[in-house]
Amino acid sequence: MDSDRYVGRDMKCVSNCIRRAFSGICKDVYGEEITTSNCWLLMYLFDHGGEDVFQKDIEEKFNIRRSTSSSIISLLEKKGYIERASVERDARLKKLVLTEKALEICDEVNKRTIDFEESLTDGIPEEKLDIFYEVLAEIQKNAEGH
Give the pLDDT confidence of 23-71 residue by residue, as tens digits. 888 888 877 778 888 888 999 999 998 899 999 999 999 999 999 999 9
The reported pTM is 0.74
Q: In the 8-state DSSP scheme, what is residue 31?
A: G
The per-residue pLDDT for 128 is: 97
Element (DSSP H or E) covering residue 91: strand 90-98
The angle subtended at Cα 68 by Cα 63 and Cα 13, nearest 5°, is 55
Write down the H helix ranges in 1-146.
7-30, 36-47, 55-62, 66-78, 100-120, 126-144
